[in-house]
Structure formats: C-alpha cells, structure tokens
C-alpha cells in the first residue's frame, strides 16, 4: 500500500500520514492517533524509505502565504510533496515565501535551474519561462501546471449531501472583489460548479443560499466577523439551508463559532469542507471534507518540471488531481433521522 491508499483506509489526510512518518515525535498529533497509524503501517507492511542523493540542480519553490497562520495546515502538504520528490530527482529546493504586499516585487532568484510557482498573487514574471517553470494551483496559459479538480471538489460533497437527504444546500466563500491581486480562478470555477451540480441533482438555485462576502484584509478576524454575520442571517431565514459547502478554513471557524451563536452542528446545520487539512480530524465535531491530494500535487509539479527541463520544447501539460471525500461527523443523515423519529 502507498500513502494515498493508507490515508483512504484510515480516513485521514495523506499529509497527516507523511507528517507522522517524518516527525514521529511530533506533539501536534495525539499519541492515540499516532499509535493507531503506526499499528496499521506495521500490520500492512509499509516501509518508509527516504532516498539520499547529492543535489545536482537548484529549484526555486515560490509561494505567497497571504495568511501565514495557514502554512502548517494548508501549504505544508504541497511543500512535503515538492521536497520529497525533489530529493528523489536530485534537486535542491530553495523555498521563498512572500506575503501579498510583496508579491508584485518578486525578483528573479539567482542560480536556479527552474521554478515551481504556487500563488494567485504572483504574476507571470519575465523570468518565468515555459522552458523551466511549473505552476501549481493557479495555471498560466502556455505553462505546465498541476491543478485540483474544481468540479469534483463541489460534485462530491453535493452528491454526498443529497444521499443524506439534504435539498437546501448553501455555498460560502470569501472573494477579493476589489483587489486585482487575487487572480485565482478557483472561486469562480467552484461557484460555477455549485450552480451546475444543483441542476444535475434537480435542486433549485437560490441567491439566498450563495454567500460570497467580500474580503478586504483576508485575515482570521475578518473571516470570523463574516461567519458571525452569516449565522445571524441564517437564524432569521424561514427556509434555512440544512447544509453548507465551504473551504476548510471557513468550516473550521464555523465549527468554532456555531455554539456561541446557538447553532448545533450537524443537527441544525451540516458543514462540509474542501481541503481536508489536518485540523479537520480534531475539530468538534470532526469535519467531513474533500481530500485534494495536495502532497501529490507537489510531487507531480516536480515530475513535470523534471520532464520540462529534459524536453523544453514539448507541448505544455495540465495535470488535474482527483479529489475524494473523507466522511467524519459534521453532516447529519436527514433520511435516517426522520426514520428514527417516526418509530
């Protein structure tokens, strides 16, 4: 079994498996969970091997962490995939993190063979050439890229919710309307997928169930303020949505603030996230989420770059990573609940 298969079997993220293997003494993960994973790895005969090679070429991995607090949960799996694959390919990785305000001033990193670029805030600089650059998450035309499957990121939770008897399903995301720095197409693609899948499952689209507060500072405090506004609005509605699809960061904050707002999850409102960050496992209740294979995306970006350096004139490739749903406790089964009530 590989790490992806083990993660599916244990219903955890691949990033969590890798983190424990590479940091067995970590205190971030409860001992009971570590013991459970190590016991399964031993039983399955999995052998964790790290290849040691002398780096031959330097690669710059450039990111823009607009919310630095999210590094461990959201960005670390990408970096794990990049660094592990780079070691196997005899690359030396130079990691450069910028905040949103610095992104426009990024200068060429000297003495590197190629670039892995991951951010919606980073322009296609003149030194990013298709012969030596791969974009992760946010593609540029003519360049190699590795991306999540935005359609299935929405289709999978929608399908799951419908099977549980939900018909009033909402979507929540913060968009940066006023600032051109945010060039990511993901919010638009996810929203389009939401409306399309509503039609696929015979559900009515309603603007009342689409929440897109504008982000100005895009920090934790601003997200919390918008979540509280949403909860207040939700409580005043005659026909409230019974479930909501959102990003993990928003979902984790919703789970934190729901009790303070007099909302029970999942009894009053079911919540599904879309990144399967490590915190999903330990939220209250544990968050059902979509695993995006971010570590695999990091690994594939190195493979693409290696192939590009060997064949600089080849046609650009666009790789789409397949997501899958991790079921936990943040969604209620309306069908079974109603059957139980009738007994």
- What's the confidence (pLDDT) of residue 136? 93
Cα(80)–Cα(82) distance, rounded to whole angstroms? 5
Give the architecture-level CATH label for domain 150-291+327-342: 3-Layer(aba) Sandwich (3.40)
- What's the confidence (pLDDT) of residue 69? 60
Q: Which two tokens stand for residue 221?
A: 């405090």
Which CATH superfamily, name and number, covers 57-148+292-321? Response regulator (3.40.50.2300)
The tokens 């929203």 sit on which residue? 191
Write the pLDDT tens digit of every residue in 276-323: 988 899 999 999 999 999 999 999 999 999 999 999 999 999 999 999
Cα(103)–Cα(178) distance, rounded to whole angstroms? 17
Q: Where are the domains of the chain?
A: 3-44, 57-148+292-321, 150-291+327-342
Identical topology for domains 57-148+292-321 and 150-291+327-342: yes
What values do phi and psi take at 145, rounded to 5?
-150, 155
Write the pLDDT tens digit of every residue in 223-272: 999 999 999 999 999 999 999 999 999 999 999 999 999 999 999 999 99
User: What percentage of the chain exceeds 90 in pLDDT?
Assistant: 54
Write the pLDDT tens digit of every residue in 6-61: 888 888 887 788 878 878 887 778 888 888 888 988 888 887 765 554 546 899 99
pLDDT band at 208 (very low <50, low <70, confident <90, very high): confident
Tally the residues of the chain: 343
- What's the confidence (pLDDT) of residue 165? 96
């Amino acid at each position: 079994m590989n790490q992806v298969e083990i993660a599916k079997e244990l219903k955890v993220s691949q990033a969590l498996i890798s983190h424990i293997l590479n940091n067995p003494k970590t205190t971030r993960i409860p001992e009971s969970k570590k013991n459970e994973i190590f016991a399964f790895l031993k039983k399955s005969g999995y052998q964790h091997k790290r290849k040691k090679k002398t780096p031959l070429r330097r690669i710059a991995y450039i990111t823009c962490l607009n919310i630095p607090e999210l590094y461990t949960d959201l960005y670390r799996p990408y970096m794990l995939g990049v660094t592990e694959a780079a070691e196997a390919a005899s690359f030396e990785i130079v990691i450069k993190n910028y905040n949103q305000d610095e992104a426009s001033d990024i200068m060429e990193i000297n003495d590197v063979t190629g670039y892995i670029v991951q951010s919606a805030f980073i322009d296609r600089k003149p030194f990013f050439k298709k012969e030596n650059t791969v974009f992760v998450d946010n593609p540029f035309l003519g360049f190699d890229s590795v991306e999540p499957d935005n359609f299935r990121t929405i289709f999978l939770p929608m399908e799951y919710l419908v099977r549980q008897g939900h018909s009033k399903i909402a979507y929540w995301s913060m968009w940066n309307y006023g600032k051109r720095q945010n060039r990511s197409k993901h919010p638009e693609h996810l929203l389009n997928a939401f409306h399309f899948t509503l039609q696929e499952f015979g559900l009515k689209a309603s603007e009342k169930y689409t929440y897109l507060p504008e982000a100005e500072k895009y920090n934790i405090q601003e997200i919390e303020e918008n979540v509280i506004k949403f909860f207040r609005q939700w409580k005043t509605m005659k026909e409230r949505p019974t479930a909501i699809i959102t990003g993990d960061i928003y979902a984790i904050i919703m789970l934190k603030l729901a009790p303070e707002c007099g909302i029970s999850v999942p009894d009053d409102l079911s919540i599904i996230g879309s990144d399967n960050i490590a915190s999903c496992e330990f939220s209250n209740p544990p968050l059902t989420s979509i695993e995006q294979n971010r570590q695999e995306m990091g690994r594939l970006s190195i493979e693409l770059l290696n192939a590009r350096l060997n064949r600089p004139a080849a046609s650009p490739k666009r790789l789409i990573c397949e997501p899958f749903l991790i079921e936990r406790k943040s969604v209620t089964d309306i069908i079974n609940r109603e059957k139980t009530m009738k007994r």
